[in-house]
Amino acid sequence: MELVCPAGTPASLRAAVEAGADVVYCGFRDATNARNFPGLNFSRPELAEAVTFAHKHGVHVYLACNTYPKAGSEDIWHKAVDDAVAIGVDAVILADIGLLRYARDKHPDARLHLSVQASASNEEAIRFYHREFGVRRVVLPRVLSLEEIRMLNRRISVETEVFAFGGMCVMAEGRCSLSSYATGESPNMNGVCSPAAHVHYEERGDSTVSRLGNFTINVYGNDEKVGYPTLCKGRFRAMDKAGYLFEEPTSLDVTAILPELADAGVTALKIEGRQRGKAYISQVVGAFRASLDRIANGQTGTRSNLAALSEGQADTTGAYRRSWQ
């Protein structure tokens, strides 16, 4: 399986390449990608240098242009597609139907991938994107089980890419409005989920309170690890009980089920984390490279030992192994 790795900066891209990535994905330094954070992403010259460096080492580069254009500002997104193709990226990752049509018509030979932000999780949707826009790979939302992915791959003719490590989004990506409700900034339009400018921590007696905008997301005791305040991973009171309603603060790690994902027909594994530093990238990419190489050599029972880099120092296989079914 292809190992697709994040790069939020040129330094992280080099770290991913040197650690064993097959592919590095990144975005321009503007609103066209869903990790539009200060200090991250690439200028046009930086991307051109990155593509040259990656190709020299046999590594592909994908450009994420996966937010939804604002009405009247489509030219910004069109230029991102045009520039990515001119620079020579190996694929452009898109979500918006209008932008997909533009890319298909303007650059018929470009390789197009469907972003997870499109939230295509069934064969009818995927066939539509393949038929209408020539999409050759779909990044699947993190809501499907292994068996569902296996069945899907038997019925579609495009490649599938699944998330393998990092932030565990528990929603159907592309359809979540929780962060927008709390902060006024949309992950699908502004490229930010729980933006740092809206995050606050307060000391309250023996507890630490995490807040997002005007909302209290969690209250931690002294013996608890403090997580980043994301609405879907907060503790709330419902029916006279307080607890995690959606998901506990934890990270996805599929190392233990890599052979099962391969058997299900998965083409590529995506590591999340373009906002992470190069040390994190090196360690995670290196661990997955080693695990995949061990499996290729016939070894089984691999573990990544990446818990220290996981949110809350805990990991999960998410929906891939649904214990409630």
pLDDT value of residue 109:
97
Q: What is the rounded distance in angstroms from the CA atom of residue 52 to the CA atom of residue 59?
A: 10
Residue 169 pLDDT greater than 80, yes or no: no
The closest of 68, 126, 134, 66 to 101, measured between CA atoms, is 134
pLDDT value of residue 170:
66
Strands 91-94 vs 215-220: parallel, antiparallel or unpaired: unpaired
Confidence class of residue 178 from pLDDT cuts 50, 70 and 90?
Answer: confident
CB 288 within 8 A of CB 255: yes
The token pair that represents 313 in the structure block: 């120092």
Number of H helices, E strands in the chain: 9, 15
The token pair that represents 57 in the structure block: 């080492």
How is the chain split into domains, by residue range? 2-168+250-320, 194-244
How does the average pLDDT of the chain come out, rounded? 90
Pick the CATH number of 2-168+250-320 from 3.90.1280.10, 3.20.20.70, 3.40.630.30, 1.10.1040.50: 3.20.20.70
User: What residues does 268 pair with on adjacent strands?
Assistant: 2, 161
Residue 85 pLDDT greater than 80, yes or no: yes
pLDDT value of residue 239:
85
Q: What is the rounded distance in angstroms from the CA atom of residue 163 to the CA atom of residue 143?
A: 10
Residue 153 pLDDT greater than 70, yes or no: yes
Determine what percent of the chain falls in helix, strand and coil, rounding each to the nearest 5: 35, 20, 40
Picking from 75-79, 134-138, 211-215, 301-305, which range would have the lowest pLDDT averaged per residue?
A: 301-305
Q: How far is CA 207 from CA 27, 194, 219, in A?
A: 38, 22, 6
Q: What is the rounded distance in angstroms from the CA atom of residue 138 to the CA atom of residue 271?
A: 15
Residues across the chain: 325
Q: What percent of the chain has pLDDT over 90?
A: 62
Question: What is the tens place of the pLDDT at every residue in 270-295?
Answer: 999 898 999 999 999 999 999 999 98
Question: What is the tens place of the pLDDT at every residue in 189-233?
Answer: 666 778 888 999 999 989 999 999 999 999 999 888 888 888 888
CB 149 within 8 A of CB 140: yes
pLDDT value of residue 303:
65
pLDDT value of residue 89:
98
